[in-house]
């Protein structure tokens, strides 16, 4: 089958493209740039912006399914920039599906759509956790709108599913672990709270596998059609344990210092005012949303994903850490 992957040049996107090629599919990637790694895989690349409806429409011509993985992520930026990428971009993908008669859409969402300040989520499935509110972060707010539209589009001609992988990591990651390691080496990393909050994460191979499993089961009327699912390794660890294991795997020093939630939250509020006021570049070191995320338990049940499309994590955290340390 000819399959379009949006955001195929990113960390998860490349894993999706690689896995789909290995499964015998013809793969196209819709990116903002050109990626030699995709070229080496034999993946066709189409450059464009998700907010450009015509570009998305033309990219989707002739494909049988779409993995909509592209998004604007992060904890900082204007609401409009997130809205254009995450909501308008998703609307354009849905419009392309309808225009071309594409029957399957696998959407990469995020657990952040259920964010509610410091309210914990512990061992629950997606159908047991309501959407969040008062996000204080455009990423979570716009991904919520996009996921809702994807699920609402499920019907007699288009089957959709939304997957919410939690904190993807592994070899090839150029965002999460490298940034943590950089801050740890500079002595600028702290636990918000005492670090005892349990959190889920997802090794990159498992995140990709969940997408393939969902795709294999996704047809009109399938158990997973029109639904959202949390995805993780299913091995929740205390934040202080998890973070230091990741840092040890890349030879970065452990984190030993803490900062209270109230202090981190206040710092985040100050940063959110100062950054635009002083026109500071880059992301602030703390935001209110980030403070809430870092101190709150977030771990989920994998039973719905196992039941509806057979997802079982294949790579344990211990094995993933060995792969991360070896760089493979």
Q: Residues with catalytic annotation?
A: 139
Burial string for 289-305 (b: 16+ CB within 10 Å, else e) reads bbbbbbbbbbbbbbebb
| Calculated CA dihedral for residues 283, 286, 287, 293, nearest 10 degrees | 120
Distance of CA 267 to the CA centre of its chain: 26
The two structure tokens encoding residue 156: 């007699």
184 and 255 Cβ atoms separated by less than 8 Å: yes
Nearest to 212 by CA among 140, 89, 112, 314: 314
What Cα–Cα distance (Å) separates residue 120 from each residue in 124, 171, 267, 299, 314? 10, 29, 22, 9, 27
The two structure tokens encoding residue 79: 């609401």
Burial string for 215-249 (b: 16+ CB within 10 Å, else e) reads bebbeeebebbbbbbbbbbbbbbbbbebbbbbbeb
**35 φ, ψ to 5°?**
-125, 110
The residues that bridge with 104 in the sheet, in sequence order, are: 65, 159
Residue 198 burial (C-beta neighbours within 10 Å; 0-12, 13-18, 19+): middle
Q: Which helix (H) or strand (E) holds 160?
A: strand 159-165
Angle at 281 between CA 88 and CA 135, to 5 degrees: 45
């Amino acid at each position: 089958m000819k399959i379009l992957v949006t955001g195929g040049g990113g960390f998860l996107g490349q894993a999706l493209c690689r896995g789909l090629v290995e499964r015998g599919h013809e793969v196209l990637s819709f990116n903002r740039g050109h990626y030699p790694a995709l070229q080496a895989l034999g993946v066709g690349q189409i450059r464009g912006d998700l907010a450009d409806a015509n570009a998305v429409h033309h990219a989707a011509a002739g494909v049988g399914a779409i993995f909509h993985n592209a998004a604007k992520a992060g904890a900082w930026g204007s609401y409009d920039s997130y809205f254009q990428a995450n909501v308008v971009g998703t609307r354009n993908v849905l419009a392309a599906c309808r225009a071309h008669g594409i029957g399957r859409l696998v959407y990469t969402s995020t657990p952040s759509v259920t964010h509610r300040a410091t309210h914990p989520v512990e061992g629950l499935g997606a159908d047991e956790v309501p959407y969040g509110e008062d996000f204080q972060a455009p990423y979570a707010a716009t991904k919520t709108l996009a996921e809702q539209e994807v699920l609402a589009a499920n019907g007699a001609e288009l089957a959709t599913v939304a997957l919410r992988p939690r904190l993807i990591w592994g070899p090839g990651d150029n965002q999460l672990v490298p940034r943590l390691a950089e801050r740890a080496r500079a002595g600028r990393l702290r636990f918000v709270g005492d670090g005892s909050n349990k959190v889920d994460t997802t090794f990159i191979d498992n995140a990709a596998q969940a997408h393939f499993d969902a795709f294999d089961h996704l047809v009109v009327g399938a158990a997973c059609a029109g639904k959202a699912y949390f995805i993780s390794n299913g091995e929740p660890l205390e934040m202080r344990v998890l973070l230091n294991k990741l840092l040890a795997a890349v030879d970065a020093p452990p984190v030993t210092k803490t900062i209270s939630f109230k202090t981190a939250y206040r710092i985040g509020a100050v940063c959110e005012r100062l950054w635009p006021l002083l026109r500071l570049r880059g992301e602030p070191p703390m935001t209110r949303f980030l403070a809430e995320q870092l101190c709150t338990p977030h771990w989920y049940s994998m039973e719905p994903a196992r039941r509806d499309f057979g997802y079982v994590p294949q790579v344990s955290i211990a094995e993933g850490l060995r792969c991360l340390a070896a760089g493979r």
